[in-house]
Structure 1
Amino acid sequence: MTTQEVLAYVKQHPSGKVKIAVTDIDGVLRGKYIAAEKFASAIEGRLAFCDVTFGWDMGDVVYDNVKYTGWHTGYPDALIKIDLSTFRKIPWENDVPFFLGDFIDEQDKPAYTCPRQLLRKVLSDTTQSGFQPFFSQEFEWFNFAETPESIHQKNFHQLTPLSPGMFGYSILRSTLKGDYMSDLFDLLVKFDVPVEGLHTETGPGVYEAAIKYAPVLLAADQAVLFKTAVKEIAYKHGIMATFMAKIHESLPGCSGHVHQSLWDKDAGQNLFYDETDPHKMSALMKSYIAGQLHCLPHILPMIAPTINSYKRLVEGAWAPTTLTWGIDNRTVALRALPGNKKATRLETRVVGSDTNPYLALAACLAAGMYGVKNNLKLEKTATTGNGYKDVSNGILPQNLHEATQQMKQSAIAKELFGAEFVEHFTLTREWEWKQYAKAVTDWELKRYFEII
């Protein structure tokens, strides 16, 4: 739609309001409603959000260790530029107009804390090299027959799954809650988040969805909106959806695998495909994979950002633990999927469903392009069989603290994302680790209460 058409739609919508949203560093969608007349003036300039958006954690507890904002700055406003290209209608809110925004000041300087702007920066570097990246993210998540009130009353224990048993790819279980599954598929598509596939996954009440591939910024927008939209649609059905990476030690984790390829901007050609190669993989694709293998230890907090992320990254749980790649192998970190000239792509399997899609996609793209720009050779042989046993190239950091310290000290991370972003982001991860370190868990009570 043209700007004039968008403005006309906003002006004539009977609600008289517009919904605006941005993401914080954790990928939580933060937003507000504004009057339609205020929107008309805001698109010519800027809209204000308190800059605490990047000064607190996902529980709204303010950081005490970041420089960007805090009590020392007085928490002033940060300016938002509305991106008209993100216009959507929210079908479960009577088609209220919706837009995403970026943190950009009146001199067009982006905030170094803004995840969407970080992805824009990585995208700009990539397009200047002559490539157009196409990405998609797929998600697994748990659904519970609960409400926000009931889960707090139960203290997050003994929750009722949407359906019992494991039942991956179950036609039977998808029929059991068919109205919810149908609403997910239909309303997401109407919300311009095109779903290619939706099915039950292994685990009680677990679903999986694949979002259609798109240019990388649009793919990240779709992924961010997917997660919040699923939660909102679930609310309508008396259901709670969670994208935690690991809900219970006895159950599989929830992935957020990222699929990616580089295309020729002018010719519309998938540059990862090479008809003459025995595996149909181009030299470019091999350098891209080599870049990710090299950079993964330096960027891991961006694709495994929470304490809980590392509970998923354990042996034998359908998530990788080693720095490995392979062809159509689900036990490795990087799963190459060479096939035909349209579908050849790389799947990064380290990524969990708990990620901020802007940061996850920026990390994957920047790491791959590091290999391309430095002409890295894929000297590591493809893993066949059990990738958990192939430690020849090393293993992934095993907790958020270890991963954060490696990223904090990494010259590569600072080269890829800028020193200011790396400092701010790693400080937020150190904060997250500190909150966890002082908590007394159920495991500790059961382990020590009676015996010690």
Structure 2
Amino acid sequence: MNHQQIIEYVNAHPSGKVKLAIADIDGVLRGKYISKQKFMSVIEGELGFCDVVFGWDMADVCYDNTNFTGWHSGYPDAKAKLDLSTFRKIPWENDVPFFLGEFIEDAAEVCPRTLLKKIIQDAENDGFKPFFSQEFEWFNFEETPATIHQKGFQNLTPLTPGMFGYSLLRSSLRNDFMTNLFEQLTKFDIPVEGLHTETGPGVYEAAIAYSDILQAADRAILFKTSVKEIASKLGIMATFMAKINENLPGCSGHVHQSLWDTELKKNLFYDEKSTTHISKLMESYMAGQLFCLPYILPMIAPTINSYKRLVEGAWAPTTLTWGVDNRTVALRALPLGKKSCRLETRVVGSDTNPYLALAACLAAGLYGIRKNLKLTQPATVGNGYRDISNGILPRNLDEATKAMQNSDVAKELFGEKFVEHFTQTRDWEWRQHAKAVTDWELKRYFEIV
């Protein structure tokens, strides 16, 4: 729809309201309903949105260590703007009109969507059009918010039992859920290319259609919330935790990416004359990611739980490696053809903020191109967990946050104010974990010590 058609649709919708959302630093969509009259008053300008969304964590506990906002600032409204190009109709809410927004002016420096747009502009200034997509794995349970709290998050009932990846039987068992996901997500402009069960009880995996990178990030962040909302209507709870159980596989949020020319006629990652079909540009892009990964890791592994997934033999990488169609390495090169040649960054978990994950991957790749980095390390053949010749990833959020906090590379890529604020939030996350007494500690020490 064009601008005028959107206005007409909002005016004509019987609900008299609009739903809007903005992503916080953790990738949680914070939003509200506004009247159509209020919407008409802000579409050409701006609206106020409390900057506490950058002053508290995902549990709404206020940070004690951030400079951007806090008790010292009084948590004022920050200026935000709706992006009319994100207009959608929510099919499971009577086609209520929906829009994404972003922060502008001072708050733009810490806004995830605005940061991604800045990195995209950098790419376009260099003559590249980035095309990306993110795929997700996630667990589903026959639970409600009430029952999981009553059970203390223990002994939850998975949607389907057992380990059965790519199972036609298991997808038939709750076909109402799978059908609703496929059909309603597509109607909500989140086109799903593939949807199947993954190994693990109640685990699904979905691949979202490849697109312009900003659209890809919008689709990815909406995908996670949409899945949760669709699931809840069927008595199901979906979780995108990176690791739900130490004995089960983790959940990925792999990022697929390629760079095209400005006319969108040529995939610049593909070289027909090369024996590998990988272009020198793609090699530099990969070299940039391998170099930057230790300094950007909190953006693609943002939680305490993220690092429980990044362990040997759990389908997630632990080493700074690359390979051709190798699922044990950090970067999986897929030089499959002129249109499909791409890079898959496998470090990324399902718990990420898509705006930050995609921004990190793109910025690191562009760094390699700008610095003319050479891909000197050979492709890993076989088990990437055993190839530690080029280093390993930081082992926990504290280690990763310190590496980013002290990195001139991260500040060059994302700006000092973003790096300051983001690493402060990750430091807070680590400290909340460090003071908690866990079930593991109780089981290990309660009786014995």
TM-score by length of 1: 0.99
1:160-199 equivalence runs, <5 A: 160-199=157-196
What is aligned with 1:201? 198
Summarize deviations over 1:370-419 as a string: whole Å, max 9, x none.
00111110001000000000000000000000000000000000000000
Conserved 8 A contact 1:24-1:114? yes
Deviates more, 1:321-330 or 1:261-270: 261-270
Q: Give the whole-Å Cα distance in 2 for the aligned partners of 1:377 and 1:118.
A: 27
Matched, 1:298 2:298: no
Give structure 2 stretches of 5+ with no counterpart.
Answer: none
* Alpha-carbon shift at residue 110 of structure 1 (Å): 5.4
Q: Give the whole-Å Cα distance in 1 for the aligned partners of 2:428 and 2:253.
A: 24
* Alpha-carbon shift at residue 268 of structure 1 (Å): 1.7
Q: Give the whole-Å Cα distance in 1 for the aligned partners of 2:322 and 2:311.
A: 17
Q: Give the whole-Å Cα distance in 2 for the aligned partners of 1:235 and 1:217.
A: 28
Matched, 1:64 2:61: no
Q: Give the whole-Å Cα distance in 1 for the aligned partners of 2:26 and 2:406.
A: 21
Matched, 1:436 2:433: yes
What is aligned with 1:265? 262
What is aligned with 2:237? 240
Matched, 1:362 2:359: yes
1:322-341 equivalence runs, <5 A: 322-341=319-338
2:375 counterpart (369, 374, 378): 378
Matched, 1:21 2:18: no
What is aligned with 2:339? 342
Q: 3-state SS of the aligned residue for 1:80?
A: strand
Conserved 8 A contact 1:110-1:117? no
Q: Give the whole-Å Cα distance in 2 for the aligned partners of 1:137 and 1:195.
A: 11
Conserved 8 A contact 1:23-1:29? yes
2:218 counterpart (221, 224, 229): 221
Give structure 1 stretches of 5+ with no counterpart.
Answer: none
* Alpha-carbon shift at residue 428 of structure 1 (Å): 0.2
Matched, 1:413 2:413: no
Q: 3-state SS of the aligned residue for 1:83?
A: strand
Q: Give the whole-Å Cα distance in 2 for the aligned partners of 1:335 and 1:110.
A: 35
TM-score by length of 2: 0.99
Deviates more, 1:422-431 or 1:110-119: 110-119
Q: Give the whole-Å Cα distance in 1 for the aligned partners of 2:77 and 2:405.
A: 28
What is aligned with 1:84? 84
* Alpha-carbon shift at residue 267 of structure 1 (Å): 4.9
**Amino acid corresponding to residue 34 of structure 1 in structure 2:** I
**Amino acid corresponding to residue 289 of structure 2 in structure 1:** Q
* Alpha-carbon shift at residue 266 of structure 1 (Å): 1.7
Q: Give the whole-Å Cα distance in 1 for the aligned partners of 2:149 and 2:48.
A: 33
Matched, 1:425 2:418: no
Matched, 1:288 2:264: no
Moved over 4 A (4+): none
Summarize deviations over 1:106-133 as a string: whole Å, max 9, x none.
xxx6521100000001000000000000
Summarize deviations over 1:334-371 as a string: whole Å, max 9, x none.
00000110000000000000000000000000000000
What is aligned with 2:122? 125
What is aligned with 1:45? 45
Aligned CA RMSD, in angstroms, stands at 0.6
Q: 1:110 to 1:431 in 2, by over 3 A?
A: closer
Q: 3-state SS of the aligned residue for 1:369?
A: helix
Q: Give the whole-Å Cα distance in 2 for the aligned partners of 1:384 and 1:168.
A: 25
Q: 3-state SS of the aligned residue for 2:120?
A: helix
Q: Give the whole-Å Cα distance in 2 for the aligned partners of 1:371 and 1:267.
A: 22
Conserved 8 A contact 1:334-1:347? yes
Summarize deviations over 1:412-441 as a string: whole Å, max 9, x none.
000000000000000000000000000000
Conserved 8 A contact 2:79-2:107? no
**Amino acid corresponding to residue 124 of structure 1 in structure 2:** Q
* Alpha-carbon shift at residue 44 of structure 1 (Å): 1.7
What is aligned with 2:34? 34
What is the identity percentage for the equivalent residue pairs of Structure 1 and Structure 2?
73
What is aligned with 2:140? 143
